[in-house]
Structure 1
Amino acid sequence: MNHREIAKKIIEESGGIENISSVTHCSTRLRIFIKDKSKVNQEQIQAIKPVLGVVFPEDELQIVLGQNMIPIYESVSKTFESQSKNSDARTNEAQEASQSSHTTKSTDGGKKSIGKFLYKVLAFVSAAVTPMIPGLVAGGMLKVFLLLATLVFPAFESSSTYSMLNMLADVPFYFMPIFVAYGASKKLGGTPLYSMTVAAALVYPTFMTAVTEGTSLSLLNIPVTLVKYNSTLLPALLISIFAYYCEKFLVKVIPGIIRPVFVGMLTITAAYILGITVLGPLGDIVGSYVVHIFLWSSVNIGPFAVGILAACMPWLVMTGMHHAVTPFMVQAITNPGYDGLFKPAYLLHNMAEGGACLGVALRTKDKALKAECYSLAVGCILAGVTEPALYGVNLRLKKPMYGVMAGSALGGIVAGLMGATAYVYGYSTILAIPIFQQTIMAIVTAIIVSIVSACIITMIIGFDEELLR
């Protein structure tokens, strides 16, 4: 079965083109936003040969494809685009689907638990930030290599080449509100350019200069709180939600003949006024509190905070919720300027996944499985891609998951005890250890503990190879 046929089968089992609002992806997952969940045949999708796993939180169908993701995504995306009538029709369908889902939520919302509500919030945040993850990874790894270059050639840091490349590496983080606005709008079914325009205004040079210099500003006689919105998440999310409902309202009340002229203008104006005066400052305050709560836990719970988060990571990855905390990681590195919790936990979980695969490889007598596990271990440790190992081996064999959790926890505790702290955003691989700067030995020690303990524990408790057949 070629990629085009796989894409056709995925679309068919997802309920057809008419049941899809939009298509996106992350490093290893095809993410399809669904209108009617009942039309999706998860079992048939799981049975497609390249598919490693299927996760379906709310209306986002996540299909784990590992190294096959990009060509299959391209085929699905092209098919989706070619068979949809036009972009306007797709937008209207997405809005109707989103409106329908909101109506459903309102009828039975009183019966749902707080946990379910929080899960939906995390699912929305995860879906909103997923499109920008590749950009954050690209910028973060460029920073890692620039840091390595300055260690080898100290004079390079004062060159214009370094300055230009460093600016490029900063872009995905500095303009994060714009990328968040795009993802949130796509998730909601609104017009991305409206919320992106307002988010861009939050980091417009004139406004940023006024913030830096403390210049007093007001809008319609409403005082404007001077906040640096670069590298923030929640302001853009709140603005995108308001822009979506504002646009939907204006489309209903403005006559069709003048709708193209006034809907966009009024949407961005209303979203900007409310965003810069209320939603932006509110989102910044809440986002700062969230980051500081996590940092408080790492200070007051001590090394166990990193261990607990690292041990939970495989289950966050399985549900697709691991991306929901990525923006807070970026925000922590921006303010207060370091991350002693998120990045160590992310990194050590990846190492433990690789360690468990090594344990399987060393214990099994099956040559094909041995070779596969060695390859997956390299992917986890050097590339930071864990889904193929998680879904392909560790989860299917079940018992290696104990090794993953134990290795993650033990490595996290060591990292916490030794004070491993990231000062630059980078991908969660062994190649990114320079971002820990003066605490590099702490994270190296923790990495060794994670890999070795996950490997040994997996070898000791064993596994049933028949589960892979």
Structure 2
Amino acid sequence: MNPTKTASDIIHSSGGSGNIISVTHCMTRLRFVIDNNELVNQDEIKKIPGVLGVVNATGQLQIILGKDLIPVYVEVEKMFNGHADTQPAETVPLAPRQKKKVTALGILNTVIGFVASSVTPAVPGFIAGGMTLVVLLIITLISPEFKNSSTYSLLYFVSHSAFYFMPVFIAYGAAMKLGSTPIYSMIASSALIHPGFIKIAAAGGDVSFMGLPVLLDTYASSFLPALLIALVAARLEYYLNKVIPGIFKAVFVGTFTIIIAGGLGFLILGPLGAYIGKYIINFLMFLQNTFGALSVALLAGMMPFIIMAGIHHLFSPIIIQSLASTGSDSLFKPALIVHNMAEGGACFGVALRTKNKKLRAEALSSGIGCILAGVTEPAIYGINLRLKRPMYGVMAGGAAGGLVAGLLGAKAFVMGFSNLLSIPIFQQTLFAIVAGICTAIVVSSLVTYILGFEDIQ
């Protein structure tokens, strides 16, 4: 595969760089925000060497590249920023886009798309921060006195910053999605976690803005206030650019945007986002208290379809907020890691059953990637979904592993990646998640082997 040619072909089949609003990536997917979806040729993209699949969901065109992501992304970013291919793939004039009928489902999809697009750019940082905490945890287990060193403290600051400053990172992603100037949303959001405001909030008392009372709350590690602030800042910037004369735009558009968005952040947007966030966490706790281990089993069993829809990154800010609010996450992270193990187990079942040497090698490689690296797309699209019946093994293994992990009380206490190397994040519930992992691998392997599949000749 030639990364430069693959990147060029992807951009061309996506309607040209002029049809691409923004470019980001997660662990395995290239993610575009597209201006006009009618110019995108998904069938053509699927045929490009290196592309494992295409998903158009949550307001993004997601191109699954697996291990080839980074070299292709580097080339795509060069071409996109340099506008090497600005002509759309389809030059025939299109009929005006018809207004879509407003429905409850359409509104829900729009909201999910906005949140997913806002979170995606920050996810690699969340994982890096969590894994740094894992490394520190392992070192302190080996050498307990290390925790008292200044090196430990400084590295903890580095890792914790990934979560503490989440409002700023989310504001950046939201502004990019909205096509506004990111720094305005970032400034207005960061005001909520300014050391001065935190000091005032800790001291208590009455605080007002323009004579109106301000709720004194802690907004660190929150994400909804930043989303709301970014929405308001984008609309303000658009409106101010229309009403402020050209000669004054450079000075007053940004000034008034951060003053108004920041003020509303303290008065309305921050408190509203915090209340909604707390209700989300309370609802999740209600589900777990009501359904117990079954909730982990159901989520793990459904996870392949959630990943294929490209909305699994929505879990990241909820996990972080749950960790900040309750100190642990006993739903999403256990389900995610157990599902990844089930994907790997199904691949091992394929490797044991197939008589095709090439397929066996691919299945083993993909299975090891799921378990050790937590990268599942090659397994999903290259092995399990392609052969169809192994997906039953994945679902059975995920559900069984999730049930065991849930019954034994598996809880993640730190944000981290969902692979075998990340199990220290479960700390005192390590046995519970190891039991869930072993169950997922064994059950998915056995079910896949027993059910069989149409072997590739």
Provide TM-score, normalisation by structure 2.
0.95
Query: What is residue 69 of structure 2 aligned with on the other side?
Result: 69
**Aligned counterparts of 2:183 and 2:412: Cα–Cα separation in 1:** 34
What is the aligned partner in structure 2 of residue 328 from structure 1? 318
2:58–2:112: 8 Å Cα contact kept in structure 1? no
Aligned to 1:220: 210
2:453 aligned counterpart, secondary structure: coil
Given the alignment of the two structures, is residue 359 of structure 1 paired with residue 349 of structure 2, yes or no? Answer: yes
Q: CA deviation at 1:12?
A: 0.6
- Identify the residue that residue 40 of structure 1 maps to in structure 2: 40
Output the CA distance in 2 between the equivalents of 1:375 and 1:269.
Answer: 53
Sort the Cα spacing of 1:58 and 1:308 in 2 relative to 1 into closer, same or farther, 3 A.
closer
The counterpart of 2:445, out of the listed 436, 445, 455, is 455
1:172 aligns to what? 162
Q: Please list every run of 5 or more consecutive structure 2 residues that lacks an aligned counterpart in the other structure.
A: 87-95
Amino acid at match of 1:6: T
The answer to whether the 8 Å contact 1:382/1:431 transfers is: yes
In 2, Cα distance between equivalents of 1:285 and 1:298: 20
Partners of 2:233 and 2:85 in 1: how far apart?
Answer: 25
2:386 pairs with 1:396 = yes
Question: In the alignment, is the contact (CA less than 8 A) between 2:296 and 2:332 conserved in 1?
Answer: yes
User: Retained in 2: the 8 A contact 1:55–1:320?
Assistant: yes
User: Does the 8 Å contact 1:359/1:454 carry over to 2?
Assistant: yes
Distance 1:262 1:85, change over 3 A: farther
Q: What is the SS of the residue equivalent to 1:170? A: helix
Conserved 8 A contact 1:306-1:344 = yes
Distance 2:443 2:351 in 1: 15
Q: How does 1:23-102 map to 2 (within 5 A)?
A: 23-57=23-57, 59-83=59-83
Residue-by-residue CA offset, 1:33-62 (whole Å, 9 max, x unaligned): 111100100000000110001001254110
Q: SS in structure 2 opposite 1:32?
A: strand
Asked whether the equivalents of residues 210 and 216 of structure 1 are also in contact (C-alpha less than 8 Å), the reply is: no
Q: Distance in 1 between the 2:206 and 2:85 partners? A: 49
Deviation at 1:127, TM superposition (A): 0.9
User: 1:368 aligned to 341, 355, 358, which one?
Assistant: 358
Aligned match of 2:327? 337
Kindly provide the amino acid, as one letter, of the partner of residue 390 in structure 2: P
Name the residue aligned to 1:318.
308
Q: CA deviation at 1:215?
A: 4.2
Equivalent residue runs for 1:4-15 within 5 Å: 4-15=4-15
Residues 415 and 58 of structure 1: CA distance in aligned 2, closer, same or farther (over 3 Å) = closer
Contact 1:190 1:247 in 2 (8 A): yes
Counterpart in the other structure of 2:21: 21
1:27–1:134 CA contact under 8 A, matched in 2:
yes
In 2, Cα distance between equivalents of 1:372 and 1:15 = 33
Q: Distance in 2 between matches of 1:294 and 1:241?
A: 26
For 2:121, the equivalent position in structure 1 comes to: 131
Q: Residue 117 of structure 1: CA displacement?
A: 2.4
1:438 partnered with 2:428: yes
Distance 2:287 2:361 in 1: 40
- Counterpart in 2 of 1:119? 109
Return the TM-score normalized by structure 1: 0.93
Query: Which amino acid in the other structure matches residue 109 of structure 2?
Result: Y
5+ residue gaps in structure 1? 87-102
* CA deviation profile, 1:293-343 (whole Å, cap 9, x unmatched): 112111111110001111111111101100012101110011011111111
Whether the 8 Å contact between 1:295 and 1:341 is mirrored in structure 2 is: no
The structure-2 alpha-carbon separation of the partners of 1:76 and 1:421, relative to structure 1 and needing over 3 Å to count, comes to same
CA distance in 2, matches of 1:356, 1:244: 46
Paired residue for 1:301?
A: 291
Using the TM superposition, name which of 344-353 and 215-224 deviates more: 215-224
Please report how far the alpha carbon of residue 375 of structure 1 lies from its aligned counterpart in structure 2 after TM superposition: 1.2
Distance in 2 between residues matched to 1:85 and 1:224, nearest whole Å: 49
1:227-238 → structure 2 map (5 Å cutoff): 227-238=217-228
Residue of structure 2 equivalent to 1:426: 416
Partners of 2:414 and 2:18 in 1: CA distance: 43
Mapped to 2, the partners of 1:205 and 1:356 lie a distance apart of 49
1:134 alignment partner AA: P
Secondary structure (helix, strand or coil) at the match of 1:225 reads coil
Q: Which moved more, 1:232-241 or 1:150-159?
A: 150-159
Identify which of 183, 186, 194 aligns with 1:204.
194
Q: Does 1:410 align with 2:400?
A: yes
Q: Does 1:246 align with 2:217?
A: no
1:6 CA drift (Å): 1.0
Cα offsets for 1:444-464 (capped at 9, x unmatched): 101100111011101111111
* Alpha-carbon distance in structure 2 between the residues aligned to 1:245 and 1:84: 31
Cα offset, 1:84, TM superposition: 7.3
Q: Name the residue aligned to 2:132.
A: 142
> Residues 437 and 108 (structure 1 numbering): CA distance in 2 closer, same or farther, change over 3 Å?
same
Partner amino acid for 2:63? I
Which residue of structure 1 lines up, in the alignment, with residue 92 of structure 2? Answer: none
AA partner of residue 364 (structure 2): Y
Question: 1:373/1:295 Cα in 2 relative to 1: closer, same or farther (>3 Å)?
Answer: same
Q: SS at the partner of 2:412?
A: coil
- Which whole-Å CA distance do the structure 2 matches of 1:58 and 1:418 have between them? 34
Match of 2:90 in 1: none
Task: Kindly report structure 1 stretches of 4+ aligned residues shifted beyond 2 Å.
Answer: 107-110, 114-117
1:97-118, Cα deviation, whole Å (9 max, x unpaired): xxxxxx989x5443x2x33322
Percent identity over the alignment is 50
